[in-house]
């Protein structure tokens, strides 16, 4: 059974930091490019970051570049997102997702596996 389980979300003040984790199981994690996607209240899914299967890239949306860092540990089947200098506009549900492929895809409809999401709230 494929599972992606996010953790680490919560309430953080503006300017603060959080580290999200995504534990993968039920598939060959090291074969997949991994993604972080978020959905703010009342908005659609927004791609924010990607890392290739062998730690290449990484790739970031302009909205998070310079503040967020994606990483992965293939020995632990775990994906991370280090988020710094958080802003109220970062408030969203954060999802990890997986896609087998050879390049980055920013359209969330192309991802094969999804987690259930973790809430990040940055009050204004």
pLDDT digits (tens, 9 = 90+) for 92-121: 999 999 999 889 999 888 999 999 999 999
Q: Residue 119: beta bridge partners?
A: 93
pLDDT digits (tens, 9 = 90+) for 23-58: 999 999 999 999 999 999 999 999 999 999 988 889
* Gap between the Cα atoms of 29 and 2, Å rounded: 10
- Count the Cβ atoms, other than its own, within 10 Å of residue 4: 23
């Amino acid at each position: 059974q494929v599972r992606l389980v996010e953790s680490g979300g919560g309430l953080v003040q503006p300017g603060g930091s959080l580290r999200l984790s995504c534990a993968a199981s039920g598939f060959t994690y090291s074969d997949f490019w991994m993604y972080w996607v978020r959905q703010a209240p009342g908005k659609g899914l927004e791609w924010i970051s990607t890392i290739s299967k062998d730690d290449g890239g990484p790739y970031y949306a302009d909205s998070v570049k310079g503040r967020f860092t994606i990483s992965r540990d293939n020995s632990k089947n775990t994906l991370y997102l280090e988020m710094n200098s958080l802003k109220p506009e970062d408030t969203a549900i954060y999802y990890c997702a997986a896609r087998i492929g050879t390049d980055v895809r920013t359209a969330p409809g192309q991802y094969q596996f999804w987690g259930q999401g973790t809430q990040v709230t940055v009050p204004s």
